[in-house]
Amino acid sequence: MSGSAPRPKPAARRELLAWYRAHRRDLPWRRSRDPYAIWISEAMLQQTRVETVIPYWERFLARFPDIEALATADTDAVLSAWSGLGYYSRARNLQRAARQLMERHDGALPRDPAALRELPGVGRYTAGALASIAFDAPEPVLDGNVTRVLTRWLGIEEEVPRPAVQERLWAEAGALVRGASPGDLNQALMELGATVCTPRAPRCDACPWRRRCRARAAGTAESLPRKTPKRAPRAVEAVAGWLERRGRALVVQRPADGLLAGLWELPGGALRPGEAPEDALRRHFAEGLGLALPCAEALGSVEHLFSHRRLRLHVFRCKPVAGRLRRRGWPAHRWVSPADFDDLAQGGPTRKVRERVAERARRP
């Protein structure tokens, strides 16, 4: 895979830019020249569909309109605004980076890609996207969409995680981005992968590179790129209990590190091998809260898929319990009204549990 640097491809570049300007989607961040707004969009678009991101991006900017507002905000407020997007480390890194920008860069994003990559959560891709789209720098990007487009266009049959393949793809992206409108060029590559050169059933007849694409010529487009097979997600079972006192529900905060760090959830935890869900609930309430549950009503279960585990969460409505709460293992707890519950920074499993509890409450 090694060799001389890729040659510039001016004709392919012109074709791609012409296609993009004729067919690009009208996305709100594409109407902005504000580097901060572009940065927020790039962070949200990682691992998340465009249709999901649009309302979150608009609400986030309305609540935190600039770097200073984000840097000085309460972290719970930032996580709450992010709630539902998943991968919450992105939100924490945004705020950490905003604080670093206030301390070292006078509250502005630097133009230098190397300086951008010093920010928490900003890797090679995000630095390239920001530098090219916000500052017109000829910096390449390589995400899933761009990888798919380039792999098919060049007819690369090797598995894309291989370092030599990654090196070649970055070099090819770098050769393409050199020239006028580097930000548009990078967005064109991403747009082509998102709307035409899709993972399944690519619309090759609509592609501006259909005559240049080696995979199309070989009939292998849908089989590329080749990836290392993923492990099946590990099955995990856990319990969660809805406990009310005087119309308020008990919620606990997860530790600052690990999965769903810092988010709020209902008390509970993982089952031990062979343990019945209700026994696990009583154990977690006793060990983590110092409360002895008299009994609990089973409300069924909800499922949630993480990247590396499949969670089945058994849901219970707990009967009122006397005694003083003595918290262990969770850094904080609150008693919140059902309305306030929805404003908490919470993960997908907790939102599903809340919906299950509300659904049961509506039944006659």
Active site residues: 42
Enter the tokens of residue 353: 């549990």
What are the φ and ψ backbone dihedral angles of 105, each rounded to 5 degrees?
A: -130, 25
CB atoms within 10 A of CB 281: 26
- Token pair of 58 as six digits: 């608009």
What residue type is 24 in one-letter code?
R
Q: How far is CA 124 from CA 163, 177, 318, in A?
A: 15, 15, 48
* Listed residue (310, 312, 307, 313) closest to 234, CA to CA: 310
Q: How many residues does the chain have?
A: 364
CA distance 55 to 60: 8
Cis previous bond, 267, omega within 30:
no
Provide the 8-state DSSP code for 28: G
Instruction: Give DSSP secondary structure letters for 190-231.
Output: HHHHHHTS-SSS--GGG-TTTTT-HHHHHT-GGG-SB-PPPP
**How far from the centroid of its chain's Cα atoms is residue 172's Cα?**
26
Residue whose C-alpha is closest to residue 46's, from 98, 100, 89, 97: 89
User: What's the alpha-carbon Rg for the chain, to the nearest Å?
Assistant: 24
Residue 290: CB atoms within 10 Å: 13
- Say if residue 169 is exposed, middle or buried (CB neighbours under 10 Å; 0-12, 13-18, 19+): buried
CA distance 120 to 307: 22
Measured in degrees and rounded to the nearest 5, phi and psi for residue 317 equal: -100, 120
